[in-house]
Every structure is written in structure tokens, then in C-alpha cells.
Amino acid sequence: MSRSLPTVCMVALLALAGCTPTMQVSAERDPNADLLAYRSYAWLAAPPKDPQFSNANADLLDWRVRTAVDTEMRARGYTRTAPDAPDLWVRYHIHIRETDVESFQDYYWYRMGGGSDSPQDTFVFGYEEATLIVELLDAQTRQLVWRASVAAPRSKESKQERVAQAVALMFEKYPIQAVSRPPR
């Protein structure tokens, strides 16, 4: 029994697409900033609510992002303080964009990023890609000292694990590893 090459390729593609999702992560820092000198942080105001989310979903997503970032900051020895005198300000943004799928390679990357729609749906309708950006700013100068982003297909369910995984991937690129730091 012989199988056509396109059928075999499609089966292989779908098998690979079932593997662990890969999110696109990037990070950069101010090379002049001494990240070891910072000890505390506070959150800047929440980003404006996206009309694509209901108020309840926006509040839940805000809580998930802040909880995940707080966990990563704490693991690196930072203390969350009141907003009157932190060393660092933390803020985040979420951008959502429509993306087209025009080839099997595009569909492969969509699936590797965590997308779950069928090939038919993604080729016809495309999908939404969400990008989460986390920024740390020097509280005195308001200058950006570190910025990271992660992009992946927007999930119909924004589960805590997915948000925590995205934030953890960003902080893997943070120059200070998750260990105890000596006191000042």
C-alpha cells in the first residue's frame, strides 16, 4: 500500500505540531544599568483594558500576569514595596494582532506556538497572536533597564499555567538568575 508524499508530510507535520508549544521570546537590557543594585519594585498602573476582553477576563488576566511576574521577581531577590519609593517600576502590555496562515510552515509554527485550531480554520480565518511585554524601569530616572517579550498564538483559554510559563521564559533571559542574593 503506497501513500502519497503530501499525506505523509501532513501526518508528520501534525505529529510534530503536537509537541510542546514553543513561544517566541526576546529580551534586552540597558548595558549601563547595574541590576544588582536594585532591591525593590512596585507596579505602575495597570494597562488600559482591551475591548477584546470582558472586564472579568481583563481583571483575571491582569492578576495572572502580575502574580507570575511577582513570583519571578521574588525568586531573584527583589521585594515588592509600596509605590512611594521602589528601586524599579514594573509594567506590562499585551498586544494582539491578526496573523494569516499561508503555508504549511506557517501552520507548523502556529501549532508549535500552542495553537489548537484545525488547518482548515487557520488557513481560512488565520489566528490571533498575543504578545506579552514586561518592562522594568529605574524608579528615579524612569529609564528602561530591561524589557522582554513573548509571542504565541492567542489561546481561547488564558490559563494561569500558560501565563506563568510565558513569564518564566522571559525571566530565563534576565541577567540575574533565580537564586538568593546577598543583602546590601
Model pLDDT, residue 102? 76
**Is residue 6 in a domain?**
no
Of 50-59, 72-81, 94-103, 123-132, the range with the highest mean pLDDT is 72-81
**Is residue 109 in a domain?**
yes
Helix ranges, the chain (H)? 5-17, 55-75, 104-112, 119-125, 160-171
**Is residue 149 in a domain?**
yes
pLDDT-based confidence at residue 66 (cuts at 50, 70, 90): very high
**Is residue 14 in a domain?**
no
3-class secondary-structure state, position 98: strand
**Is residue 32 in a domain?**
yes
**Is residue 77 in a domain?**
yes
**Is residue 79 in a domain?**
yes
**Is residue 74 in a domain?**
yes
CATH classification at residue 138: 3.30.160.670
Number of domains in the chain: 1
Instruction: Check: pTM over 0.85? Answer yes or no.
Output: no
Write the pLDDT tens digit of every residue in 115-168.
766 776 766 676 677 889 999 999 999 999 999 999 887 766 557 788 899 999
Backbone angles phi, psi at 128, to 5 degrees: -100, 135
Range of the structural domain that residue 104 is part of: 23-171
Write the DSSP string, 11-53.
HHHHHHHTS----EEEEEE-TT--GGG--EEEEPPPPPPPTTS
